[in-house]
Structure 1
Amino acid sequence: MDDQPSEGKKSVPWRKVLYERQPFPDNYVDRRFLEELRRNIRVHQYSYWAVVREAGLVSQQLSCVALFLTLWSYMEQGDVAPSTLLWTGLGCSVLGYSLYEALEGGKGRERTHVADLQSAAVFMAFTFGLSPVFKTLTESVSSDTVYAMSAGMLMAHLVFFPYTQPSLPGSLSLNAALFASVCLASRLPGTLHTFAMLSCALLIFALWPCLLQRLRQAAEWMFLWAAGIVCVFGVVGVGTLWPAGGFLLFVILAVLTLVCPLLLVRLQRHKDNIHGPWDEAEIREDLSRFLS
């Protein structure tokens, strides 16, 4: 394109307007045309270890699903008694609740410990009372269909889990996980097995994310240790049932935690966003008062 005006037109300044005729050719580009161009003014520069820390939440959630499936498999095979799982879950619940209260320090607390205990007792009573119903819920459905639905719901749980910080387990993610838990628990040998499996599902998919959020807010080093321990338990649990599967899970976790953040940081140098007066207008004023 022509970037120089003719000799007789040098005294006429070029203007960036379309509503008036100017003595320049149509393909003329002035040197000031892109003077307001800005590149990557809103790009957030990520550090590798910061991305690894955030990716650890995805890895530990995948490990939670693997750990739940491992416990279900042990229950189905009769290698773990329901009473053992219930007592272990009770101990983990007491330990986690104590840690949660210690990190919270009683600030902004609206419920008493007695109210929390009553809520837990009511939930456990209803779950135990409905266990016979859950046990026979999928009797008329084939096992292949139940397993396929459970796999789909667990995938939905992982996809829709709110990984942003800070965040509690979302309703869609939690409901998908509990739906899969009910489907799988209905395939266990007895009613007590179903009750123990549903209690374990609540502990893993509902209560554990709440404690993990508190750890991210109050004690980040404890969050890193907790996420790492969950990943180790998930790999070891799958490895005891299927060694090749345990190795595959280890590779997936390593790629998610270490390789994907590296690719993100490396590809960041190729990011090229341009900004200028041609951008769409951004409304920065709070319009909530007009919508209320």
Structure 2
Amino acid sequence: MHAASTATTRADASSSTLDPKFLAPGDAFFNSAASAALSARQRKQRARSTERRRKAQFKKLLWFKQPFPDNYTDEKTFLDHLQRNPRLQPYEFWSLMTDSTVIVQHVASVVIFCCTFVAIYTERVSPVSVVSWASLGTFLAWVWWDYWMAQEEAKSAKKVAHETQKNEGEPNSHAAGFEGAEEMEGASVGKEQPTPGHSPYPPNVDPTLSWSPRNQQRLATARSAVLIFVALLGLSPILKSLTRSTTSDSIWAMSTWLLFMNVAFFDYGSGSNAYLPASISTNSALMASTVLASRLPSTTHVFCLTLFSIEVFGLFPLFRRQLRAKSRNGHLALTVALVTTASGAVFATLTGGGRGAWIAGIILGSTSTFLCMGVCSWWLIGLQKYKNEIHGPWDPARPIIRMRWD
């Protein structure tokens, strides 16, 4: 009996050690030791991998294998190349004041046109005198502009001649290689041949004529002026009856919105090389002048106002841009003249007064305009502190497109 009980106890002990559901008293020590050894081994592996990563230099490249995971972030070097507002150009007060004169000039031109229409509509001034003085000013401005263009052409011709003399004085292999081609071209043609789709001559210039290119452009300008004059004479009766069935309230509202569009869409940033002003701005202004001219009493009034609008909104911006590029003092003087004229005309139109209202308008209008320019400039300078543009090596590269190939 005792032997049987001993065998049964041994069988139960052996079954308890073999059965995973039952744990022996020694299993607790064995499991804790194994887990400690496993954690020590993991710590060693992590330390080795960390040491390898420290030795390796992390690069933000995916086309070669690195001992780092794909979502790894190097906290030490991540913000090293961070740039805040790298292209920021701090504004200066007087430079902003000078740049704002472009807007002031155009707004003053629109105000002068509106006051002129009111004066013609109320028969306070003669439309013939208005268009005569405006045409004289346009002619003088064109003479001035033509003088500037002649100076630029002379400078460019001197530059080309200087470069030619320099190339002849320093012959090289390229010049020697081109001599044969130039001799063949001169012998076969005798003059410059433009490539298809490109002409070396300015528009309205015929290289076969004996006149100089500048004289040909002057003749083309005179032809365009005569064509506009004759076309307006023929279209004046049609323009007068264009909006006969439209009420005057609709005409005033439509012209107001069109002039607002002219001010809003005008190209204030274009340089002196711009050939014509922005099409939306110019078209809206000419449309406004057309609907306003339809409310005048005679075809003479319609012709004068339409021609005056073409000179103010089509030709005058070209002269202003060229004057700004050539003479800063002249640009500022023109700004002062336009502001004083517009201010006096507004007060004289609103009050119906004479010289006293004109002088009061000049003083108040000029002062308020200068204050508005200063306040807007300081406001824009104050807004610059809120600019927060962040750049870094993770940003996509911006391609540099060359618009002109030399």
TM-score (norm 1): 0.85
**Are the structure 2 counterparts of residues 17 and 96 from structure 1 closer, same or farther at C-alpha, using a change threshold of 3 Å?**
closer
How many Å separate the matches in 1 of 2:330 and 2:239?
37
Q: CA deviation at 1:259?
A: 1.6
Q: CA deviation at 1:114?
A: 3.0
How many Å separate the matches in 2 of 1:151 and 1:174?
14
**Structure 1 stretch 90-99 or stretch 110-119: which is displaced more?**
110-119
Equivalent position of 1:274 in the other structure: 390
SS at match of 2:395: coil
Equivalent position of 2:381 in the other structure: 265
SS at match of 1:156: helix
Q: Please point out which of 375, 399, 405 is paired with 1:283.
A: 399
Q: Please point out which of 130, 133, 158 is paired with 2:235.
A: 130
Q: Please point out which of 43, 46, 64 is paired with 2:88.
A: 43
Equivalent position of 1:223 in the other structure: 331
1:31 aligns with 2:76: yes
Equivalent position of 1:88 in the other structure: 133
Q: Please point out which of 242, 265, 273 is paired with 2:350.
A: 242
**1:91-111 per-position Cα deviation (integer Å, ceiling 9, x unaligned):** 212221222223333544654
How many Å separate the matches in 1 of 2:91 and 2:150?
32
Q: CA deviation at 1:21?
A: 8.0
Equivalent position of 2:319 in the other structure: 211
How many Å separate the matches in 1 of 2:253 and 2:385?
42
**Structure 1 stretch 85-94 or stretch 171-180: which is displaced more?**
85-94
Identity %: 28
In the alignment, structure 1 segments of 5+ residues that lack a partner are: 1-5
Number of positions where the alignment pairs a residue of Structure 1 with one of Structure 2? 282
Q: Please point out which of 113, 117, 123 is paired with 1:78.
A: 123
**Are the structure 2 counterparts of residues 85 and 36 from structure 1 closer, same or farther at C-alpha, using a change threshold of 3 Å?**
same
**1:43-78 per-position Cα deviation (integer Å, ceiling 9, x unaligned):** 123222111111111011111111000000000000
**Are the structure 2 counterparts of residues 186 and 274 from structure 1 closer, same or farther at C-alpha, using a change threshold of 3 Å?**
same
**Structure 1 stretch 113-122 or stretch 250-259: which is displaced more?**
250-259
**1:89-137 per-position Cα deviation (integer Å, ceiling 9, x unaligned):** 2221222122222333354465433332221111111101110110110
Q: Which AA in structure 1 matches 2:247?
A: S
Report if the CA contact (8 A) 1:59-1:256 is conserved.
no
Q: Please point out which of 230, 236, 249 is paired with 1:144.
A: 249
Q: CA deviation at 1:22?
A: 5.8
1:201 aligns with 2:309: yes
Q: CA deviation at 1:288?
A: 10
Q: Which AA in structure 2 matches 1:238?
A: V
Equivalent position of 1:188 in the other structure: 296
Q: CA deviation at 1:207?
A: 1.0
Q: CA deviation at 1:283?
A: 2.5
**Are the structure 2 counterparts of residues 283 and 90 from structure 1 closer, same or farther at C-alpha, using a change threshold of 3 Å?**
closer
SS at match of 1:282: coil
How many Å separate the matches in 2 of 1:22 and 1:30?
13
Q: Please point out which of 142, 145, 162 is paired with 1:97.
A: 142
Equivalent position of 2:369 in the other structure: 253
Larger radius of gyration: 2
**Are the structure 2 counterparts of residues 86 and 249 from structure 1 closer, same or farther at C-alpha, using a change threshold of 3 Å?**
same
How many Å separate the matches in 1 of 2:152 and 2:81?
50
TM-score (norm 2): 0.62
**Higher relative contact order, chain-length normalized (CA < 8 Å, sep 6+):** 1
Equivalent position of 2:197 in the other structure: none
Q: CA RMSD in A?
A: 3.2
How many Å separate the matches in 1 of 2:147 and 2:61?
67
